[in-house]
Chain A
Amino acid sequence: MKRVFAAVAALAVTLVLAGCGQEENKQQAADKPLPDPIRFATEGAYPPYNMVDSSGKLTGFEIDMVNEMCSRMKVRCEWVVQAWDGTIPGLQAGRFDAAISGMSITPERRQVVDFTVGYASTPAYLVTAKDNPLQAVTYGMERVNLDEIDPAEQQAIDLVRAQLKGKTVGVQTATIHADFADKYLADVVDLRRYDTQENMALDLQSGRIEVGLADAVAWEPFLDRPEGQAYSFFGPGFDGGLFGAGMGIALRKGDDKLLDALNGAIRSLKEDGSLRKMAEQWFGFDSSMP
């Protein structure tokens, strides 16, 4: 009995502490100077956007982009490697000042963080083995935009749903792809959530999952490998709607000074064509947004 009491008391104390912690966040709205250094979080496991190479260094499209932005802004920047699903909570907890992790700008996320202008936009694609019967189906559309679903698009979605029925489908946890799967597929498929895109690809290869859903560009490193040759996209690409309006850098709400500075730097990268060049270097095509 004493132990039960102790446990309850402990819980109460933690709850109170948690409550106090929450209040703190709201006081930070007042404008303040740019942080020095500006700390950027990235996952480091989402190639080609961001990854860690065998020399232990962060590399990738987003790393190049932010480093270039920082040198144009003439500020010091620091990288923090952050597991994906802790990115927004970590941002809110003040562990870093900005997060760039292939994060799409969605209405849900906009409620809790601010975003810079978009710097890249790529559709989501389903992938399965080339010899899988799913590849032979005609889905009737190249691209489904979820902003306003017309009857033809609805038909394509329904067909995808019907085809995937009963199959095991993988997504990375807490992504727009997981949101899509939750909304359109969860009731008909066996949905698996992975901590990283790479682990999902490993399980696609081992046959634990039959289908994976992810960002088109994030699929490339896997599909380009010898082991990935036996796999390819199928069905329509998806964008718009819950997939959001391209990828942006996330910031705490109210960090307006930092937001303006980052937006300025992204625009300057767009204007002189550097962003396009980086995209072509890392993705093989131009994904940048106007």
Chain B
Amino acid sequence: MLDLLQFGDSGWGDEILRGAGMTLVVAVLAYGIGLVLGSLSAAATLAGGLLLRGAAAVYTTVVRGVPALLVIWLLFFGGGSAATWAAGLFGFSGRVDLSPFVIGVLAVGLVSGAYAAEVIRGAVQAVPAGQLEAARALGMQRGLILRRILVPLALRYALPGLSNVWQMTLKDTSLIMVTGLAELMRVSFVASGSTRQPFLFYIAAAVIFMLLTTGSELLFHRAERRAARGVRRAGA
């Protein structure tokens, strides 16, 4: 039975590994989009006017309030026409179509961003006001304060939460199998259907996911320690 996991043309091993690679690529890109969306949304909530604040609230409430699967279906079916319409606004004519890859990245990124927004907002609010006052008193410019004080401090508070968001994003990529994109879950699904060995292939997928989540958790732990290295020195 295990020969089904072999590499080469007779087994599914290489397909599964390629699928895992695709999962990782989608997850990283989606997480990147999520961080950008999350930061923008958090900035809008903290410093924006009424309109921006409202938009951010709508975004985080709606996307966190409906299942990710539904977001994927929506983008999958409606994304192409929405993109065509949006492109029309900028003077492009003709049809814009989004591949399952782009849709997967966008949909998971959208969900990721809504959760990241809450984490980032909380972290920025956790930065003691005194730190910022001190910086201002020293005559630092806004940009410099942002770069030297706010971001490093907020990042430290945000890292554990962002680590959770990453784990969620990674696992959410499994849902884009419904679009037919050949990521880890889809490959396992197809292989289990064609070989009639669902247990074997879903266990394989589960083990690979465990490796991915555990491995990335270790990386985040390192990052957390690094971000907190100044704290320990101060405390010692």
Check whether chain A touches chain B (CB < 8 angstroms).
yes
Among B18, B77, B180, B198, which residue has its beta carbon within 8 angstroms of that of A81? B180
Verify A7–B190 contact, CB threshold 8 A. Answer: no
Please indicate the chain A residues that have their CB under 8 angstroms from the CB of B85 in the complex.
Answer: 17, 20-21, 24
Q: Does A205 sit within 8 A of B, measured CB to CB? A: yes
Total number of A-B contacts with CB less than 8 angstroms? 118
Please indicate the chain B residues that have their CB under 8 angstroms from the CB of A43 in the complex.
Answer: 180
How far, in angstroms, from A53 to B195 measured CA to CA in the complex?
Answer: 10
Interface string of B12-47 (1 = CB under 8 A from A): 101100100000000000000000000000000000
Q: Does A273 sit within 8 A of B, measured CB to CB? A: no
Q: Which of B188-206 contact A (CB under 8 A)?
A: 190-191, 193-196, 198
Verify A52–B58 contact, CB threshold 8 A. Answer: no
Q: Does B225 sit within 8 A of A, measured CB to CB? A: no
Q: Does A37 sit within 8 A of B, measured CB to CB? A: no
Verify B193–A7 contact, CB threshold 8 A. Answer: no
Which of B93-101, B119-127, B136-144 touches A?
B93-101
Smallest Cβ-Cβ distance to A23: which chain B residue: B85
Q: Does B80 sit within 8 A of A, measured CB to CB? A: yes
Q: Which of B159-199 contact A (CB under 8 A)?
A: 178-180, 182, 187, 190-191, 193-196, 198
Q: Does A9 sit within 8 A of B, measured CB to CB? A: yes
How far, in angstroms, from A55 to B10 measured CA to CA in the complex?
Answer: 7
Interface SS of chain A: helix
Please indicate the chain B residues that have their CB under 8 angstroms from the CB of A136 in the complex.
Answer: none
Verify B179–A83 contact, CB threshold 8 A. Answer: yes
Q: Does A207 sit within 8 A of B, measured CB to CB? A: no
Q: Which of B98-137 contact A (CB under 8 A)?
A: 98-100
Among B61, B179, B180, B194, which residue has its beta carbon within 8 angstroms of that of A51? B194
Please indicate the chain B residues that have their CB under 8 angstroms from the CB of A22 in the complex.
Answer: 81
Interface string of B65-80 (1 = CB under 8 A from A): 1000000000011111
How far, in angstroms, from A55 to B15 measured CA to CA in the complex?
Answer: 7
- Shortest C-beta distance, B193 to chain A (Å), equals 3
Q: Does B152 sit within 8 A of A, measured CB to CB? A: no
- The interface size of chain A toward B, counting residues with CB under 8 Å, comes to 44
Verify A9–B84 contact, CB threshold 8 A. Answer: no
Given contacts A7-B65, A93-B97, A95-B80, whether A86 and B194 have CB atoms under 8 Å apart is no
Given contacts A93-B97, A202-B196, whether A44 and B10 have CB atoms under 8 Å apart is no
Q: Does A13 sit within 8 A of B, measured CB to CB? A: yes
Please indicate the chain A residues that have their CB under 8 angstroms from the CB of B99 in the complex.
Answer: 95
How far, in angstroms, from A81 to B195 measured CA to CA in the complex?
Answer: 19
Q: Does B62 sit within 8 A of A, measured CB to CB? A: yes
Q: Which of A231-287 contact B (CB under 8 A)?
A: none
Verify B76–A56 contact, CB threshold 8 A. Answer: no
Verify B190–A52 contact, CB threshold 8 A. Answer: yes
Among B8, B59, B100, B194, which residue has its beta carbon within 8 angstroms of that of A47? B194
Verify A2–B84 contact, CB threshold 8 A. Answer: no
- Shortest C-beta distance, B7 to chain A (Å), equals 10
Given contacts A10-B58, A54-B12, A205-B196, whether A44 and B80 have CB atoms under 8 Å apart is no
Please indicate the chain A residues that have their CB under 8 angstroms from the CB of B81 in the complex.
Answer: 20-22, 24-25, 93-94
Verify A94–B14 contact, CB threshold 8 A. Answer: no
Among B8, B57, B187, which residue has its beta carbon within 8 angstroms of that of A2? B57
Given contacts A86-B76, A198-B194, whether A54 and B11 have CB atoms under 8 Å apart is yes
How far, in angstroms, from A25 to B198 measured CA to CA in the complex?
Answer: 40
Verify B62–A94 contact, CB threshold 8 A. Answer: no
| Beyond A20-B85, A93-B79, 4 extra complex contacts between A and B, CB < 8 Å | A17-B78, A21-B82, A51-B194, A202-B196
Spell out A's residues near B (CB within 8 Å).
2-3, 6-7, 9-11, 13, 17-18, 20-22, 24-25, 28, 43-45, 47, 51-56, 80-83, 86, 89-90, 93-95, 196, 198-199, 201-202, 205, 225, 227
- Identify the 4 closest CB pairs spanning chains A and B, nearest first: A21-B81, A198-B193, A93-B80, A10-B58
